Amino acid sequence: DSGVTQTPKHLITATGQRVTLRCSPRSGDLSVYWYQQSLDQGLQFLIQYYNGEERAKGNILERFSAQQFPDLHSELNLSSLELGDSALYFCASSATSGTPTYEQYFGPGTRLTVT
């Protein structure tokens, strides 16, 4: 158990809909990262928050957005869903950001299926 929790575990929805994925980082971790994992693309970095502020952006679509709340939990919002958005979505947290090395601890993921 990494200490990172994600809900829900599974999500099935229709095209055009909007969903929210939730992540609670390990106790004390200030950084939260969101990743998308599909079979053909591997693990793709979407976005990072550090203590409530956006720190880095990766391959995140404009239809997707995220935020980190004062209690440090984070939500990833996916809207106007398309079939190609079906994937595993992982959240990870780390204790530090901006130092030479930082180690990320991953949650169990949310499997999103868009039908």
Partner 1 sequence: TQLLEQSPQFLSIQEGENLTVYCNSSSVFSSLQWYRQEPGEGPVLLVTVVTGGEVKKLKRLTFQFGDARKDSSLHITAAQPGDTGLYLCAGETSGNTPLVFGKGTRLSVIA
- Chain residues in the site for partner 1 (CB under 8 A): 2, 4, 33, 35, 42-45, 48, 55-56, 58, 90, 92, 97-109, 111
Question: Please, what is the minimum distance in Å from the beta carbon of residue 80 to partner 1?
Answer: 25
**Helix (DSSP H) and strand (DSSP E) numbers for the chain:** 0, 11
Question: Please, what is the minimum distance in Å from the beta carbon of residue 41 to partner 1?
Answer: 8
Q: Name which of 17 and 102 has its Cβ closer to partner 1.
A: 102
- Which residue type occupies 53? E
Give the position of tokens 């939730």. 22
Question: Please, what is the minimum distance in Å from the beta carbon of residue 48 to partner 1?
Answer: 6
CA–CA gap between residue 24 and residue 4 (Å, rounded): 6
